[in-house]
């Protein structure tokens, strides 16, 4: 077996990463490791990271059942870069460790996809062999995000601005998937990219 193919799937918020990952899993049976899933695990009730968050922002950051109030935390970190950096310092090492553990169990698998929204921002490019970036027009991205997360235009823009510009990510990508058109068009691009040798 040649070198394992580890696809780092990234893009902007609400550009369609989950759609691409789902297709790769269903159509090709490729294992999907998702940074967002690990990040959610990091702040589960009773976790030391959730404890640190509550200690920093007070228990009002928790819901009545003790779980994290994500919208409230989002308001804090998306309007204050220092707080966002602090939160990432808590979560990113945990996420990196989860990837390492999962990859150790997948060493015999030819192709693995790691879905990492902050692949560039969190300096995780070293753990993948190629980078796929899902893009779409800014207006499309903002509209999708507003609809999905029930955000105002200003809140949606704030979250988009908290990530690297899509154009910058696309420049550093091995594969750029344009998710501006139909699902069929997106799937065709995925098929071609997967079949091209890394």
Q: Which residues are annotated as a binding site?
A: 14-19
- Give the torsion through C-alpha atoms of 60, 64, 70, 71, to 10 deg: -70
Say which residues have a Cβ less than 8 Å from residue 95's Cβ, sequence separation at least 6.
Answer: 35, 38, 39, 42, 122
Contact 43, 49 (CB under 8 A): yes
DSSP single-letter state for residue 4: -
CB atoms within 10 A of CB 133: 26
Contact 18, 25 (CB under 8 A): no
Distance CA 24, CA 31 (A): 8
Give the annotated binding-site residues for ATP.
14-19
């Amino acid at each position: 077996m040649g070198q394992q193919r580890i696809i780092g799937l990234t893009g902007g918020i609400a550009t369609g990463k989950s759609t691409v990952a789902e297709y790769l899993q269903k159509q090709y049976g490729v294992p999907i490791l998702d940074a967002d899933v690990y990040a959610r695990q990091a702040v589960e009730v009773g976790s030391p990271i959730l404890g640190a968050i509550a200690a920093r922002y007070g228990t009002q950051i928790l819901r009545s059942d003790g779980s994290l109030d994500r919208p409230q935390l989002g308001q804090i970190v998306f309007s204050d870069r220092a707080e966002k950096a602090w939160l990432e310092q808590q979560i990113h090492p945990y996420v990196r460790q989860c990837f390492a553990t999962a990859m150790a169990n997948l060493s015999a698998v030819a192709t693995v996809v790691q879905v990492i929204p902050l692949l560039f921002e969190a300096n995780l490019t070293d753990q993948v062999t190629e980078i796929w970036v899902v893009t779409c027009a800014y207006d499309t991205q903002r509209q999708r995000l507003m609809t999905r997360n029930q955000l105002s235009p200003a809140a949606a823009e704030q979250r988009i601005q908290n990530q690297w510009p899509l154009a910058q990510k696309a420049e550093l990508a091995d594969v750029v998937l344009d998710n501006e058109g139909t699902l069929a068009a997106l799937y065709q691009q995925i098929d071609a990219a997967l079949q091209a040798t890394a």
